[in-house]
Amino acid sequence: MNDLKFIGIIPARYASTRFPGKPLARLGSMTMIERVWRRVNSVIENAWVATDDERIYNAVNDFGGRVVMTSTEHRSGTDRCREAFEKVGNGEDVVINIQGDEPFIEERQLKSIMQCFDDPGTDIATLVRRFDPSGSYEQLSDPNTPKVVVDGYMNAIYFSRSVIPYLRNVPQEQWPSAHEYYTHVGMYAYRAGVLDAITRLPQSSLELAESLEQLRWLQNGYNIKVGITDCRTIGIDTPRDLENAIKLLEAENND
């Protein structure tokens, strides 16, 4: 890993359906996008915000962050990352795509995904979290929390909104404690050439079925290495999520 060069890119859109203007929402003394950028930049010195909105662009400039304007037509953060890398990349080996609504991202999460590239066979890397065995089946089966099955070398076999694997002859309420389930954490890293290639692929049948773009990559033969994190971060999708994040921040500041 020490021989590889990394660049961090944080896609940030203004026009979120559930929370318009989310990157500019205040979280303590900073906007959310500033908090994310500062955390990423403390680990990856070459960190950029990729946006399609002048308000976000100006806000990042104002706090001294690196920012690049990208198209309004992108279907996903992966596509936005590719354009940003084409504009500001400088021969880096690996591009890390960090969610702009994860203001509590931790250094060890970034290092974990970077370490996946110690394996020269890694095309793409992502993170998973072990599902709490004391949790309920209802929590495990939430389709908004994709599940991941991995092989013995921590390569992803499949991602699904359904609970996988299915435990035959085990009552569903016992599934969380009867098997070690993994849930997906939405951070990705790609070798530079792979990022260019996967964004040019047409949507695949599995991707369309589950609405998970990583299935397009698996279906086209790319290797996805998986790192494990135990960090309990808060993703902010709605104003209510922001309220919870503010409470968490206040609690951290009181410690």
Domain 1-101 matches domain 106-232 at the CATH topology level: yes
Q: pTM of the entire structure?
A: 0.91
Name the residue type at position 166.
Y
- In this prediction, residue 187 carries a pLDDT of 93
Please calculate the CA angle 203-207-169 and round it to the nearest 5 degrees. Answer: 160
The segments of the chain whose pLDDT lies below 70 read: 1-2, 17, 253-255
The DSSP letter of residue 191 is E
- In this prediction, residue 2 carries a pLDDT of 59
Return the axis-axis angle of helices 54-62 and 32-41, rounded to nearest 10°: 50
- In this prediction, residue 179 carries a pLDDT of 98
- In this prediction, residue 255 carries a pLDDT of 44
**3.40.50.300, 1.10.3720.10, 3.90.550.10, 1.10.8.870: which CATH number matches 106-232?**
3.90.550.10
Task: Name the CATH superfamily housing domain 1-101.
Answer: Spore Coat Polysaccharide Biosynthesis Protein SpsA; Chain A (3.90.550.10)
Extents of the domains making up the chain: 1-101, 106-232
- In this prediction, residue 200 carries a pLDDT of 95
Give the C-alpha separation, 6 to 201, whole Å: 24
- In this prediction, residue 20 carries a pLDDT of 81
- In this prediction, residue 208 carries a pLDDT of 97
Characterize the bridge pairing of strands 6-12 and 94-97.
Answer: parallel
- In this prediction, residue 237 carries a pLDDT of 75
- In this prediction, residue 254 carries a pLDDT of 56
